[in-house]
Amino acid sequence: MKTKVLIFGNEKNKITDLIKRIGFSVVRKNPDFVVSFGGDGTVMQSEAQFPGTPKIILKNSRICKLCSPIQNEEILEKIKSGKYKIERFWKILGTAKDKKITAMSDITVHNGDPRHAIRYKFSVNGKQVSHEIIGDGVVVSTPLGSTGYYRSITDSFFEVGLGLAFNNSTEQADHMVLKENSIIKLEITRGPAIVFADNNPEKIILEVGNKITLQKSADFAQIVKVD
């Protein structure tokens, strides 16, 4: 029986013939793998729509840090021959107002009105860490996502733990790399703020007094890596 793949991306027709020629069956539901054809953003979108299904990442973008340096055809041939492994990457869970949002890269709490900063307090593992902070918000990142938005704010990245970066704070606020099982709780004292994850179009609006909990999710993203 042929391996079933679902192709995800704005220009998936470019890769369909190649996938079929190598011997995969292209389907619209219940795939064995999801082929993400694009860049890093496409990978995140595909994970949001098909969480947990192993992702084969094929490059169709100039910028794709998650892509393999070898050609798409060789990647597919190796997978067809069984020369691959599946790596699991933990995700972040954000919970607020009885809503949940997950990210394989990062969750951002951002000022809802770009003309006005937000104010917030936060704690880690039940201990308040700082006084009220004024700024554009925070970015909470996984190691996988630390080379993106987190790095643009902090000029650094990390390989282990949970990253917390402060975006345009009015006073010095050093970024933190916490243990990956840490629980961050943030309370908005002046809003509104918007919570969003990766390239997921869903969002959560936080008003004054609303709180959000950010922590490691029990769910994992799975990415196919070739030998």
Tokens 């703020």 appear where? Answer: 193
Express each pLDDT in 112-127 by its tens digit: 998 999 999 999 999 9
CATH 3.40.50.10330 domain extents, the chain: 4-82
Q: Which residue spans within the chain are E strands per DSSP?
A: 4-8, 25-26, 33-38, 55-59, 84-96, 99-103, 106-111, 118-124, 127-128, 133-135, 137-141, 162-167, 176-178, 184-190, 193-197, 203-206, 211-226
Tell me the pTM: 0.89
Contact in structure between 109 and 90 (CB atoms under 8 Å): no
Least-confidence region, from 112-121, 159-168, 171-180, 183-192: 171-180
Q: Where in the chain do CATH 2.60.200.30 domains reside?
A: 91-218
**SS3 breakdown of the chain: % helix, strand, coil, rounded to 5?**
15, 45, 40
Give me the helices (H) in 81-182, please: 149-154
From the list 40, 106, 136, 198, the catalytic residue is 40
In CATH terms, is domain 91-218 a member of 2.60.200.30?
yes
Percent of the chain at pLDDT > 70 equals 100
- Say whether pLDDT at 168 is over 80: yes
CATH superfamily of 4-82: Probable inorganic polyphosphate/atp-NAD kinase; domain 1 (3.40.50.10330)
**Active-site residue flag, 40:** yes
- C-alpha span between 149 and 136 (Å, rounded): 13
Q: What is the mean pLDDT of residues 32-61?
A: 94
Confidence of residue 104 (pLDDT cuts 50, 70, 90): very high
